[in-house]
């Protein structure tokens, strides 16, 4: 039984927007364009702009039609802005497609001019399409494995001793310009109950928690800038109703707390709103990006700067007419 705590993440109508970095690579003017930092280290020089990445969440494509068209609208905006904003990667944060939506969703995303990476969400699992998701997106991940440095991927499928049978867990990691991106599959494999809408640590051999632990161990043993690890998931890494329970939260705090100088934060979807909070015990920020499938089509662009000591970031929520 899950012991729930109050919801930690504040869902906001719209996050305040940060100014995109200008073409000369300096931070934008004004407070909105200043990269965020929580380091207490001595001044390491002015941060230098490196690149941007975009986040799209919850397209919910189940067939050709409106949801596919709304995803296409987000893709078209990224394609138009990629050069000016130096967008080099796109992450799609879960609930991308199920039923008859796999081919239309992949076709829409393949129009992106930069590499895109899928993250598994809960709806394909609840719809009985976990294996179909794997079949549709595994070729994309195989292509990224051949092209992106430092690629690592959890084994899939694996025996699931909690739910029984096998699960196609979808966790992977790679390096890009000094950052380590780690995508994590926290989606419950319990189908048909309220708990199917909540995350699970999958703390077993080949599971998600051991994958994250191995990534953090490797990052701690290596060299690199502070705040260089970025966690991506469908379900946000928070504690509360519909999220991790108290025991799971304590497990994550014990793991992430000592790595607070490595981990910048967690990008997620699932909640169908734009929100941001700080999980102080884990030393990281947690944000959610609104779904593209309803209301205003929105996405998030994260700008990355570095100085001699650490990675800095600033983000902008973009709403399309």
pLDDT tens for 45-56 read 899 999 999 999
Counting residues of the chain whose pLDDT is more than 90, the rounded percentage is 82
Three-state secondary structure call for residue 284: strand
pLDDT, tens digit (0-9, with 9 covering 90-100), for 9-58? 443 332 222 333 333 444 433 333 444 444 444 466 899 999 999 999 99
- Asked whether 305 and 27 are in contact (CB, 8 A), the reply is yes
Query: Would you say 114 and 84 are in contact if contact means Cβ atoms under 8 Å apart?
Result: no
The class that CATH gives domain 49-320 is alpha beta
Residue 215: per-residue pLDDT: 98
pLDDT at 230: 98
User: Could you give the angle at which helices 208-221 and 246-256 cross, rounded to 10 degrees?
Assistant: 20
Tens-digit pLDDT profile for the chain (321 aa)? 333 333 344 433 322 223 333 334 444 333 334 444 444 444 668 999 999 999 999 999 999 999 999 999 999 999 999 999 999 999 999 999 999 999 999 999 999 999 999 999 999 999 999 999 999 999 999 999 999 999 999 999 999 999 899 999 999 999 999 999 999 999 999 998 878 789 999 999 999 999 999 999 999 999 999 999 999 999 999 998 879 999 999 999 999 999 989 999 999 999 999 999 999 999 999 999 999 999 999 999 999 999 999 999 999 999 997
What backbone torsions phi and psi does residue 241 show, to the nearest 5 degrees? Answer: -55, 130
Residue carrying structure tokens 């509360």: 240
pLDDT of residue 44: 67
Phi, psi of 221 (to 5 degrees): -80, -20
The per-type count for the chain, helices as H runs and strands as E runs, is 6, 15
Instruction: Find tokens 């990445």 and name the residue.
Output: 53
Q: What does pTM read for this prediction?
A: 0.88
- Say what the alpha-carbon torsion angle 132, 157, 190, 194 is, to the nearest 10 degrees: -60
**pLDDT attached to residue 281:** 95
- Give residue for tokens 């077993």: 204
- Of 182, 212, 14, the C-alpha closest to 91 is 182
Residue ranges of the domains in the chain? 49-320
Calculate the average pLDDT of the chain: 88
């Amino acid at each position: 039984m899950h012991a729930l705590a109050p919801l930690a993440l504040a869902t906001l109508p719209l996050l305040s927007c940060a100014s995109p970095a200008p073409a000369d690579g300096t931070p934008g003017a004004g407070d909105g364009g200043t990269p965020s930092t929580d380091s207490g280290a001595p001044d390491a020089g002015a941060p230098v702009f490196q690149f941007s990445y975009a986040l799209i969440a919850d397209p919910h494509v189940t067939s050709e039609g409106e949801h596919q068209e709304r995803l296409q609208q987000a893709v078209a905006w990224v394609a138009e802005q990629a050069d000016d904003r130096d967008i080099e990667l796109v992450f799609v944060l879960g609930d991308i497609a199920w039923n008859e939506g796999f081919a239309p969703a992949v076709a829409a995303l393949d129009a992106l001019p930069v590499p895109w990476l899928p993250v598994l969400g809960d709806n394909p699992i609840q719809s009985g399409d976990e294996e179909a998701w794997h079949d549709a997106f595994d070729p994309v991940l195989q292509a990224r494995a051949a092209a992106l440095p430092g690629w690592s991927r959890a084994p899939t499928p694996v025996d699931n001793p909690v739910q029984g049978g096998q699960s196609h867990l979808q966790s992977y990691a790679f390096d890009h310009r000094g950052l380590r991106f780690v995508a994590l599959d926290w989606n419950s494999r319990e189908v048909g109950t309220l708990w199917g809408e909540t995350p699970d640590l999958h703390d077993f051999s080949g599971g998600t928690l051991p994958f994250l632990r191995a990534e953090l161990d490797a990052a701690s043993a290596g060299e690199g800038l502070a705040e260089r690890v970025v966690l991506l998931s469908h379900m946000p890494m928070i504690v509360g109703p519909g999220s991790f329970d108290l025991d799971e939260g304590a497990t994550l705090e014990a793991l992430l707390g000592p790595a607070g100088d490595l981990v910048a934060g967690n990008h997620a979807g699932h909640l169908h709103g734009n929100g941001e909070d700080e999980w102080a015990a884990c030393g990281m920020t947690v944000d959610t990006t609104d779904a593209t499938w309803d209301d205003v089509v929105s996405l998030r662009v994260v700008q990355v700067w570095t100085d001699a000591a650490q990675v800095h970031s600033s983000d902008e929520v973009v709403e399309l007419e």
